[in-house]
Amino acid sequence: MTYVYRINPKKKKNFFDSFSLNTLLIIVNVVLFIIFSVLIKLNFLSVDDIAIMPSNILDGKYLWTFLTSMFMHAGFFHLLVNMLSLFFVGSLIEKIIGRRRYFWFYIFSGIFAGAFFILVSFLFKVDLYSYAVGASGALFGLIGLLMLLTPNLPVYIMFIPIPVKMKYAAPGMLILLWVISLAGNVSIGNTAHLGGLIAGLIYGLFLKSKYRNKTAYIRRYFS
């Protein structure tokens, strides 16, 4: 009797497979920030072409800014803070839900945050002519997801020297940024942050409903 052994060759990795998706997202954010900044400086693009503005969207113009605004930042410090946050939060999320799910969830959270910003502006007639840029909306989506999947995970948030459980840290960060923006008259996209958090909670509830045993294990593991 002849036995035939079938060998399944391993999938050949390309250059991008050498990096985590989160690392690639950080690289894309940095590279696009530089490119967009240079093009705006040289007047090849305007801020309207990159940043999302409620009045533009409500007029049916610059609809692509739902995406481009996610990869532009107001300055180097804004970029640095968001990328440091993405490095820590995104790395954990990618390990929990996987590369593909993480990518689509990140994009969904950013777009949902932008849409929520537009909706609030339309309903309350505020910030209609304000620009919004940054990865913060997508970041708060990741934070909202962690709030449901790892509620007891101890994390550090700004100005607080002791670890705080994720279920308290997530809304705490949102409130803290809101207070800073009101007290210091600082322009912060609080409604976009809230929209991102809501997107994370929605996806978290979906995962908990569809994968009860897996999400229960994750919750216990990070307690």
91 carries an active-site annotation = no
**Distance of CA 58 to CAs 46, 65, 201, 217, Å?**
18, 12, 26, 44
Q: Are 146 and 92 contacting, i.e. CB atoms less than 8 angstroms apart?
A: yes
Tell me how far apart the alpha carbons of residues 196 and 176 are, in angstroms, rounded to a whole number: 16
Helical packing angle, 21-41 and 99-124, nearest 10°: 50
Please tell me the distance from the alpha carbon of residue 182 to that of residue 190, in angstroms, as a whole number. 10
140 and 109 Cβ atoms separated by less than 8 Å: yes
Query: What CA–CA distance (Å, rounded) separates 31 from 166?
Result: 31
Among the options 69, 109, 121, 136, which is catalytic?
136
CA distance 74 to 57: 20
Q: Catalytic: 78?
A: no
- Write the burial class of residue 179 (CB in 10 Å: 0-12 exposed, 13-18 middle, 19+ buried): exposed
* Active-site position among 55, 85, 193, 223: 193
Catalytic positions, written as ranges: 136, 193
